[in-house]
Amino acid sequence: MDTRKNEYAKPERLLRRSEAARYVVENYGIPCATKTLAKLACVSSKGPPFRLAGRFPLYPTSGLDSWAQAKIGPLVRSTSEASPRFSPTRKSNGKRR
């Protein structure tokens, strides 16, 4: 049994940042801007994974797929079934009435 990788296997498609944003919008309907991906790459670990080719980020389509699918909530029949992302309580402005 040959355990080597197939030398002729097609490499995974890597997308530049603008292509990656367009890919997410077209395939998942999730708003995604190029600048959002840039900011997530700099200040957060919650963005899609990417590789660097010199100074250019390249996003694998599999990473974009898993990131976009994780952003989509479960299928529900009512808004009461959806789990709230934020607490419904108001923030106090620190003043007493």
The whole-number pLDDT of residue 2 equals 55
**Residue 62 in contact with residue 12, Cβ under 8 Å?**
yes
Which residues constitute the domain of residue 37? 14-71
For 16-62, the pLDDT digits (tens) are 999 999 999 999 999 999 999 999 999 989 999 999 999 999 999 99
Tokens 């959002």, residue?
A: 36
The whole-number pLDDT of residue 73 equals 87
| 92 lies in some domain | no
- What pTM was estimated for this model as a whole? 0.72
| 90 lies in some domain | no
**Residue 30 in contact with residue 72, Cβ under 8 Å?**
yes
Number of domains the chain contains:
1
Record the tokens describing residue 50, joined without a space: 């990417």
User: In this model, does residue 94 exceed pLDDT 60?
Assistant: no
For 59-75, the pLDDT digits (tens) are 999 999 999 999 998 88
| 60 lies in some domain | yes
